[in-house]
Amino acid sequence: MDTTIVKIARKKSSHSREEKKLFNPDLAIIPIMIARWGTSFEDAIISYQNEISFHKLGSFVGTRFEDLFNEICKDKKDKRLLELKNNKSISLAGKLKNIDIKFHASIHENIIQISISDNTKILKYRDATKRNELIDSFLMIGSHELKTPLNGIMGISSLLLEKELDADTLEMLELINKSSITLNNTINKMLKNIYLNNDSGQINVLEEIKIGDKIMESWPLIKRYLVDYEFSSNSIELKDTKSVHLPNGMIDDILMEILINLKRNTQPGKSIKVSSSDIHDGVILKIENHSNGIPPEYINKIFDPFFRYQDKINHSSGFEFGKAGMGMGLTIVKRYIDQIGGKIWFENKYEYEEGKENVVILNIEFPA
C-alpha cells in the first residue's frame, strides 16, 4: 500500500468513527470468514472462508450468517444479534463444533467480517497458571510454617547430641537429627523451586568460573557420592577453556543435584563419565551413566515439577538407586539453566529398548 494513502487514512480516522471501521481483510484475525448481503442484513450469506477455518471447523460457505451466529450464541441470541446490528461489532465466547471459541464480527456497509479463534489452549493455559499459582502459594506458606518448629527440633537435638547419653538414646537422637536435616533440605528445595519459578529474571552477583576447574574443586565431594560406582579420575575428561558467568553458588547447587540424580538412577558398580568442552558460544558439560535408559515418552517430561517415573517416592532414606525423590531437583537445575540462557536435555546414547542396558547422557550448555 502507498505510504501517502496510509497517512491520509490515519488522518481521516481521527475525525470519523465510521472511517475507523473501514474494512481491511489484511488485518483480520484468522481463521476468518466473510458474509455479504444484498438488500437485507437477514439475508447475509457466508461467501468466503479461509483454509485454516475450513480444516478446523468444516465448510460454512453458502450458510446464512444468522444460522452460524445462532449456533454459537444459543442463549440470548436475539439480544446479541441486536447488539451487533446497533454497535456494528460484537465479541463473545461460545462453542462451535464442540470447540471453545472466541467469536468477533464487524459490519462494514454490506459486509460482515468474522474472526474465530480456538479458545481451548488459552483456557487450559489460564487454568494451569491459576493452579500453579495456588500450589506455589500453598507450598510457600506451608514451608515457612514448617521451618519454625523444625529449626527448634534441629537445634535442640544438636545440643542434646553433645551430652553424655546411653547408646539407645543417642541412636534415637541421631535419627531425629538426621530426619530433621533431611526434611529441612526438602523444604529448602521446595522454596527454591518456588522462588525460581516466580523470579523476575534478575540474576544475582555473577562469578566468573571455568566448569572444569569447578568440578575438580568439588572432586572430594564427587568421589564421596560416587564411591559405589565405576568412577575415578580416568572417568573425567575436562577440556573446556572458556569462562562462564554464573550467579554465586549456582554451579554448586547444580553439581549436587546431578550427583543425587546419578545415585538414584545408576545401579551400583556401573560406570559414570563426565566430560566438558568448548562450543561456539560457551561450554558443554556431559554426564553419562550406564542404566536402562529413559523411555521416549518420559524424556521430555523429566524436568517438569514433581515428575518422576520410578514407582514410588522415597525422600527419607537417602539417595538410593531406584528410589524416586520428590521430582524437584532437576526442575530446579532446568530453571537455573534457563535463567542464564543455557540449554539442558537428556538423551539415550542408543535406541531405547525396555529392560536393555543403555547409556543416558545429560547435556548442559553454559553460555560464555
- Joined grid coordinates for residue 126: 489460564
Q: What's the confidence (pLDDT) of residue 57?
A: 81
In this structure, are residues 315 and 259 in contact, taking their beta carbons and an 8 Å threshold? no
**pLDDT above 70 for 138:** no
Please provide the DSSP assignment of 228-294 as one string: TSB--GGGEEE-----EEEETTHHHHHHHHHHHHHHHHS-TT-BEEEEEEEETTEEEEEEEEEES--
- pLDDT tens per residue, range 181-211: 767 776 776 666 665 665 544 455 688 999 9
What structural domains and CATH numbers belong to the chain?
3-118 (3.30.450.20), 123-197 (1.10.287.130), 206-367 (3.30.565.10)
**Counting beta carbons within 10 angstroms of the beta carbon of residue 164, is it exposed (0 to 12), middle (13 to 18) or buried (19 or more)?**
exposed
For the residues 312-339, what does the mean pLDDT come to? 66
**pLDDT above 70 for 177:** yes
Query: Is the pTM higher than 0.75?
Result: no
Q: Residue 248's pLDDT band (boundaries 50, 70, 90)?
A: confident
**pLDDT above 80 for 345:** yes
Tell which residue, 264, 260, 281, has the closest CA to residue 322.
Answer: 264
The DSSP letter of residue 29 is P
- Tell me what percent of the residues of the chain surpass a pLDDT of 90: 26
Q: Residue 364's pLDDT band (boundaries 50, 70, 90)?
A: very high
- pLDDT tens per residue, range 73-114: 877 788 889 999 999 999 888 888 888 888 889 998 899 998
For the residues 136-154, what does the mean pLDDT come to? 68
CA 329, CA 189: separation in Å to the nearest integer?
Answer: 7
Phi, psi of 305 (to 5 degrees): -55, 135
Position of cell 481521516?
Answer: 12
CA 214, CA 255: separation in Å to the nearest integer?
Answer: 9
The DSSP letter of residue 165 is -
CA 280, CA 293: separation in Å to the nearest integer?
Answer: 29
- Joined grid coordinates for residue 7: 497517512
Q: Residue 274's pLDDT band (boundaries 50, 70, 90)?
A: very high
- pLDDT tens per residue, range 114-135: 888 777 666 666 666 666 666 6
Alpha-carbon distance values, 66 to 49, 85, 111, 129, 158 (Å)? 16, 12, 13, 36, 77
Please, what is the average pLDDT of the chain? 78
